Amino acid sequence: MTDGIVERSRPRDRILETARDMFHKHGIKGVGVDAITEAAGTNKMTLYRHFESKDELIVECLRANAAKAGAMWDAFDAEFPGDKLAQLHAWVRKAAAMLNADGRGCDMANAAAELTEPDHPARLVIKELKEAQRERLVTLCRDAGIGQAELLADTLSLLLEGARVSVQTVGSEGPSTQFVRMAEGLIASFRGAAAG
């Protein structure tokens, strides 16, 4: 009974939240709409009144995930207003904390692995949301005064993405344990280099 989340709220919200949780835990193709609606304390007809298909529900879940990630960034800015470097270090800490939180990787990456049809509606939003996240990290690095901001941001992105899949494949005791060390080393190294 781990998939609860049946607090009283509007059915659409319950369905969205439950679907996010279950997609994350069991994968997209591993969860049927019946299971979602049951866990959300409602029924299939209500789901199809709010979402025209399972695919649209998937897309909506991905967007909701991105919104939550965006809120995380805003929290960094609120916690260290103006101090971009502190925000970057906060990003590293937060990323590492989420690594050990659960053994499931990034929902977008997992969705991309599952939804292989090249024209699946989810693929477009995955790409656009990932690009937005990259842009945000690049901007943070640049505003933190780092010279090769793009390269650092991309390296950190790949490291984190890799750490997530590593946790998923070999567990949290594998290479991902070194993520903070790698990331901090990189930031220090890039800070040491000449700024543009």
Return residues touching DNA (CB under 7 A).
10-12, 31-35, 41-46, 48-50, 52-55
- Per partner kind, with CB cut-offs from 5 to 8 A, the member of DNA, a copy of itself, none near residue 54 is DNA
Q: Which two tokens stand for residue 182?
A: 């790698």
Amino acid at 174: G
**CB of 116 vs DNA, minimal distance in Å:** 13
Quick one: 43 or 169, whose CB is closer to DNA? 43
Residue 181 neighbours by CB distance under 10 Å: 10
Quick one: 12 or 136, whose CB is closer to DNA? 12
CA neighbor of 144 nearest in space, from 196, 180, 69, 100:
196
Quick one: 35 or 98, whose CB is closer to DNA? 35
Stretch 78-107 residues interacting with a copy of itself (CB under 8 A)? 104-106
Q: According to the binding rule CB under 8 A, does residue 147 interact with a copy of itself?
A: no
x/- track of binding to a copy of itself for residues 154-193 (CB under 8 A): xx-xxxxxxxxxx-xxxx--xxx-xx-xx------x----
| Residues contributing to the site for a copy of itself (CB under 8 A) | 25-27, 29-30, 104-106, 108-110, 112-114, 116, 126-127, 130-131, 134, 151, 153-155, 157-166, 168-171, 174-176, 178-179, 181-182, 189
